[in-house]
Amino acid sequence: MFRCRKNILRYLFNNVKTVTLESVAKDFVLSKRSIQRYIKSAYNTSFVTFLNRIKIEVAKELIQTTDLSITKISQEVGYHSKSYFNKIFMKHEKMTAAEYKIDLKE
């Protein structure tokens, strides 16, 4: 299962823009419920929360290493709404993505 864990994590990071529970289950030939139980047992969180955390980590990396706009970054990590992206970013980082970007420059 450790190999599966590393592969699922890599899959999520590599497909952050388009990944869904369904795509993970299909590509790993597992049921959606199995993926959900695995994430819950391995990371003590839901699939959606775990995926959002990964998306925010990728977004932070893009903020640090590119000149992309926050809107473009939100799209690159799979959010269709900048306001929803900011809501999730705020939940995880206690600041907006724009504030995070400004903090990096200071």
Structural domain harbouring 15 = 2-105
Task: Read off the pLDDT band of 106 (50, 70, 90).
Answer: confident
DSSP 44: S
The mean per-residue pLDDT over the stretch 86-105 comes to 93
Q: What is the DSSP letter of 80?
A: S
Q: What's 66's domain CATH number?
A: 1.10.10.60
Q: Which helix or strand (DSSP H or E) is residue 16 part of?
A: none
Distances (CA, A) of 47 to 63, 65, 67, 92, 104: 24, 27, 30, 15, 29
Interval 28-80: pLDDT, tens: 988 999 999 999 998 999 999 999 999 999 999 999 999 999 999 999 999 99
Which two structure tokens, joined as six digits, stand for 69? Answer: 């706009």
Instruction: For residue 47, give the nearest of 62, 63, 30 by alpha carbon.
Output: 30
Number of domains in the chain: 1
Interval 19-28: pLDDT, tens: 999 999 999 9
Task: Say if residue 1's pLDDT is above 50.
Answer: no
